[in-house]
Amino acid sequence: MTKPIATVSRTRDIMTQHQLDFKKSLGQNFIIDANILKKIVDRAEADENTIAIEIGPGIGALTEQLALVVKHVYAFEIDQRLIHVLDDTLKNYDNVTIFNQDILEADLQAFIKENVKEGQSVKVVANLPYYITTPILMKLLMDRLPIESMTVMMQREVADRMAAGPNTKEYGSLSIAVQYYTQSKVMMTVPKTCFMPQPNVDSAILQLKRREEPIVKVHDENLFFELVRTSFGQRRKTIKNNLQRGFKDRLSKEELQRLFGEADIDPARRGESLSIEEFASLANTCYTMLEV
C-alpha cells in the first residue's frame, strides 16, 4: 500500500523526483503528518455529498485525504511548477480537478453555479499560504458565496485574531469582519514540526461557519467597516481621537460628540472595548447623520 503523501519520505521523494524546491515567496510549507490532515477533513464534516474547494494544494497531501471522503475536490494552485506534480501524485483519484489559477482572480460565484448540483454542500478546506491568508478569506466572505463552511489551517496568531472577542489584545477590525459574516472557532493547534520546511511559528485550524444573515444589521456595510478600521487606527488612542482624525472631512467635533451621545457610547473608550453590536449602533447613527 502506498504511503500517504503527507509523510517525510514521500514528500522528499516527490520533491527529488520533480526537482522541486520550496518557494518562500508563495509561503510553501508542506505538511508531513497525515493524521493532522485526517483531523482537518473530519472537523470539516466532509462526506460523500461535499464539494470541497481547496486553495494551495502544494503537492497534494490534503487533496489526497479529501479525495478519499468527498464527492469532488476542486483545487486552485497558483504555482505552475506544481501542476504536473499534482497530476502525478493524484493520478489515482478521478474525483480531483486542479486549476492553475490565483484564487483571488477566480470567479467563484460562476464556478460554483456551474459545478455544484442542488443538494450538494460546498466547503472550503485548505492549508492556506501564510502570506495571503487574510485577503483570501476576506474575498470568500465578501463575495457572499454559497459556501457552508471554511475549515482552514493558518498561522496561529492570525487564527487567534479572527476568533478574538472584545477586550483582548488579539481583537481588532479583522475579528469583527470575520465574525460579521461567520461563527469562528479555533479547532486545534498544529505545531511547526508537522511541516517541511518548518515555519517559524505554530499553525492553527480555524473553522468559519457562515451565518444565514450577518450578526448585526447595518445601513451601509462600507461605512460600518470603515468606521471599525478607523476606530482601531491607533490602538492606544480613544475612539474619539481615531474617528476625529479619520472622519474630519465629514463630521465636525460637535457632530462627533453628538454621534457618541446618540449611539450611547463613551468617546473615551478604545476600539478594542466595543462589541460588534456597539460598532453597528455607532455606524448606523453615523449613517443617519451623514444622510441628513
DSSP 238: B
> DSSP characters for 109-144?
HHHHHHH--TT-EEEEEEE--GGGHHHHHHHHHHTT
172 is in an annotated binding site: no
pLDDT exceeding 90 applies to what percent of the chain?
87
77 is in an annotated binding site: yes
3-state SS assignment for residue 34 = helix
- Position 197 scores a pLDDT of 86
202 & 248 share domain = no
Q: Cell numbers at residue 194, please?
A: 508537522
138 & 94 share domain = yes
113 & 30 share domain = yes
Residue at 132 is within a domain = yes
18 & 74 share domain = yes
Per residue in 69-106, pLDDT (tens digit) is 999 999 999 989 999 999 999 999 999 999 999 999 99
Residue at 206 is within a domain = yes
Is there a contact between 203 and 226 (Cβ–Cβ < 8 Å)? Answer: no
174 & 281 share domain = no
Per residue in 191-208, pLDDT (tens digit) is 999 998 888 899 999 999
User: In the predicted model, what is the mean pLDDT of residues 210-219?
Assistant: 95
CB atoms inside a 10 Å sphere around CB 45: 14
3-state SS assignment for residue 237 = coil
188 & 263 share domain = no
Range of the domain at 67: 8-210
The count of domains in the chain is 2
Position 21 confidence tier, pLDDT thresholds 50, 70, 90: confident
240 & 153 share domain = no
169 & 281 share domain = no
- Position 282 scores a pLDDT of 97
127 is in an annotated binding site: yes
27: region left, alpha or beta (phi > 0 left; psi from -120 to 50 alpha): left
- Position 26 scores a pLDDT of 56
User: In the predicted model, what is the mean pLDDT of residues 230-241?
Assistant: 95
141 & 48 share domain = yes
277 is in an annotated binding site: no
83 is in an annotated binding site: no
CA-CA-CA-CA torsion sign (21, 26, 32, 38): negative
Q: Cell numbers at residue 261, please?
A: 451621545
Q: The domain that contains 122 carries what CATH number?
A: 3.40.50.150
pTM for this one? 0.90
145 & 47 share domain = yes
d(CA 141, CA 54): 15
236 & 192 share domain = no
Domain boundary among 186, 210, 234: 210
29 is in an annotated binding site: yes
48: pLDDT strictly greater than 60: yes
Is there a contact between 100 and 137 (Cβ–Cβ < 8 Å)? Answer: no
